[in-house]
Amino acid sequence: MTDLEIARRARLRPITEIAARLDLAPGDLFLYGPHMAKVTVEPPPSRGKLVLVTALTPTPAGEGKTTISIGLTQALGMLGKRVAVAIREPSLGPVFGIKGGATGGGRAQVLPMEEINLHFTGDFHAVTAANNLLAALADNHLHHGNPLGLDPRRIEHRRALDVNDRALRHVIVGLGGPAHGVPREAEFELTVATEVMAIMALARDLDDLRARLSRILVGYTRDGAPVTAGDLQADGAMTVLLRQALHPNLVQTLEGQPAFVHMGPFGNIAHGTNSIRATRLALGLADYVVTEAGFATDLGAEKYFDLVCRTAGIAPAAVVLVATVRALRYHGGADAYQSPDPQAVRAGLANLDKHVENVRLFGYDPVVALNRFPDDSSEELAILRGWAEEKGLRLCPAEVWAHGGEGGLELAQAVLEAAERGGDYRPLYLLEAGLEEKIEAIATRIYGASGVRYTSAARAALRRAEEEGMREAPVIVAKTASSLSDDPKLRGRPRDFEVTVTDLRQRRGAGFVVAYMGSINTLPGLPRVPAAHSIGLDASGHTVGLF
């Protein structure tokens, strides 16, 4: 059966029953039908242990990190643990593009799958509206005399939508004469790439949300002075639009464990995790909380440790590193990476080695979860077992896609043992270090680069960011997820390479600086054959083609 067919045949429990497993009363919920709710209480003090799920560098098909996270949660539930999973909401861009949804797969899913992958509780619509309200207020300010002196050529804030549309990356607004605004060049980005989305994922409460929104850098005056959302008096109305969306969403796994699915900043251009509020709420209600970071350790785990842990005041008790045989074939040079190739697997272990090193840099020995596929050969598995023994690591084959929680029991037991031992969390860099020093630390220690180059525009943006008070902010690197380097064609573990910083953008409200490496689009385009072509309704009115 397809993921959608499995999800549709599942017996969903009333969301009030799921909430009761965490001692939440019906009055703590704002219901969206029988199976979805927002939790309206403030996060209680933490009681649980956090498990972070990350991965090796993915193939174009992805390696099932979300599926493993959900399957691990189900397995911990089978072992009698009070557990919850906290993951991101899906973006419509990938759903209708090429990647598909983000609710797991097979027997390891969060439900109701269709609603979560589509409009859900309207969170992304609220983020889009708040983001575009700020853009509209900026253009309205220009139209009505521009008393702040905002330079139309130096507006940083972009409009957004949650659908891939390359035609809107660069546009001209304000055409049609004086009654229709001030003509200027403008840009769109995907909703999940906006600073508003990043702020929603990092905000502690409504007061913190409004304060962060007020600090969003809208643009500069002709004299080079920054203009913020607070200067445009936009933060109050934006907060009103986002008030309901700030409450975490509660749903359930296929096997009935609580699942918090809330917010979804992109992992290659933001920090790529669910909201801090959802994670803290889960940690206050459950004994074990499973969460994931976007993409591999170089993009996801690094940002989690260096930004999210610091902002939230939390640290994982254990780290799971997801690997697949097909990814090892891919990084070992195999083009047909879905067919057995022991030699390529052996060569591809260099990529996995680096991700193990990266996790250890932050003070943890990872549990390696091998996401099993039917074409994994016994010889390839023997190579992996030998590698794990040599590295002193626990390798746990997981078949949660096929068997749900039962297929992850060995992994769950290993995670419980690792969480009992705990880790020795340490960030990669000091916040007091300059931006250039932080970028160099990430590039050389996490990616394995020999050095960092800067374009003249990036160097100027770096100086400006430090002069304007962002010197001690964390750095979020935006680069390809397909390689440890900034070149998506470099598989495996590249060596003797430099990375190039092409631009920097201040995210003052979110509290970090984005360093761009390589060519990064914040509004992807649709592929030649989009997933949207296959999505529709059957004669009975049921959705088809969603995956």
Instruction: Name the CATH architecture for the domain at 435-517.
Output: Roll (3.10)
Rounded CA-CA distance 446/298 in Å is 6
| Beta bridge mates, 323 | 370
Rounded CA-CA distance 56/12 in Å is 33
Rounded CA-CA distance 264/221 in Å is 32
pLDDT, mean of residues 256-265 = 96
Q: Which DSSP state fits 504? A: E
**pLDDT tens digits, one per residue of 524-543:** 999 999 999 989 998 988 88
pLDDT band at 117 (very low <50, low <70, confident <90, very high): very high
- 442 by DSSP, 3-state: which? helix
Task: For the chain, give every residue range classified as CATH 3.40.50.300.
Answer: 3-122+247-421
**Mean pLDDT of the residues in the chain:** 96
Q: Per DSSP, which regions of 350-464 are E strands?
A: 367-371, 395-398, 451-454
pLDDT, mean of residues 338-349 = 96
pLDDT, mean of residues 340-346 = 97
**pLDDT tens digits, one per residue of 147-190:** 999 999 999 999 999 999 999 999 999 999 999 999 999 999 99
The answer as to CATH 3.40.50.2300 being correct for domain 125-242 is: no
pLDDT, mean of residues 436-459 = 98
Q: Amino acid letter at 235? A: D
**pLDDT tens digits, one per residue of 45-58:** 999 999 999 999 99
**pLDDT tens digits, one per residue of 275-319:** 999 999 999 999 999 999 989 999 999 999 999 999 999 999 999
pLDDT band at 1 (very low <50, low <70, confident <90, very high): confident
Q: Which fold has domain 3-122+247-421?
A: Rossmann fold (3.40.50)
Task: For the chain, give every residue range classified as CATH 3.10.410.10.
Answer: 435-517
CA torsion sign for 351, 354, 360, 361 is: negative
pLDDT band at 217 (very low <50, low <70, confident <90, very high): very high
What's the predicted TM-score (pTM) here?
Answer: 0.96
Task: For the chain, give every residue range classified as CATH 3.30.1510.10.
Answer: 125-242
**pLDDT tens digits, one per residue of 16-44:** 999 999 999 999 999 999 999 999 999 99
The pLDDT, as a whole number, for residue 362 is 98
Closest by CA to 344, choosing from 376, 320, 392, 321, is 376
pLDDT higher than 90, residue 2: no
- 144 by DSSP, 3-state: which? coil
Instruction: Assign residue 105 a region (left: φ > 0; alpha: ψ between -120 and 50; beta: otherwise).
Output: beta
Residues with Cβ within 8 Å of 375's Cβ and at least 6 positions away in sequence, in order, are 325, 326, 338, 339, 340
pLDDT, mean of residues 3-15 = 92
The pLDDT, as a whole number, for residue 256 is 97
